[in-house]
Amino acid sequence: MTESEVRDRAFAMPLTSPAFPPGPYRFVDREFLIITYRTDPDALRKVVPGPLEMTEPIVKFEFIRMPNSTGFGDYTESGQVIPVTFQGKSGGYVHAMFLDDMAPIAAGREIWGFPKKLASPELRVEKDTIGGMLRYGPFPIAVATMGYKYHPVHHDRILASLSAPNYLLKIIPHVDGSPRICELVRYCCEEITVKGAWEGPAALELFHHALAPVAELPVLEVLSGVHILTDLTLGLGTVVHDYLSDRRTVS
């Protein structure tokens, strides 16, 4: 294989059998359970990276079921998203994500910088309750429940929420262990169709774990629960801040 052929084929690792295909990535019947809660503002300030700014001491704990995903197949995801502002515009900072499928773990980390780790999330309906369970190894670290389809939610409100920009801290180390890429990335969901949205009484409990510290943003008060069914496309990202720009200029 020539150097030119390597460059032409170099999309993702490993070179001869990438862990995921090129995008775009379309999700059909993507289902969300989102519990919004109030947390400790001092704990939240410690995890929101500048130049993002914290708005309120609010966290959204999400369980996402993805049964039909281009290139990624059938998997489930869970994690925490923090409402923030960037240059005066509202959005969400993706703080932690846990999922059960290698392809979207690799793609999410390598392309956008999603903070993804391997775990075992679950989203399902049990009688009159929709619930989410997140395990890291055999240990439960999050349990969420909501009354099933208690009240419909206007689709315009959900569309506006899903269309808002999201931010990621992308970090890729150099071979000597120092950071080679350290960037703030913005992405948006696109081509969104809201198929259904409901709210209801909700509860969330978090458990401490040394390697999955979701409980470091404690639940002080549950504010709302929403259940959403959508189709959408995951848009590619834009670098909005380079933390190493001064170092690159000097070198």
Q: What share of the chain is helix, strand, coil (3-state, %, to 5)?
A: 15, 55, 30
Is 218 contained in some domain?
yes
Is 4 contained in some domain?
no
Q: Is 127 a catalytic residue?
A: no
Residues 54-86 have pLDDT tens digits of 999 999 999 999 999 999 999 999 999 999 999
Q: Which domain holds residue 208?
A: 23-250
Whether residue 199 has pLDDT greater than 50: yes
Is 179 contained in some domain?
yes
Number of domains in the chain: 1
Q: Enter the pTM of the model.
A: 0.95
CB distance 68 to 28 below 8 Å: yes
Among the listed residues 116, 127, 170, 195, the single catalytic one is: 116
Distance CA 23, CA 152 (A): 33
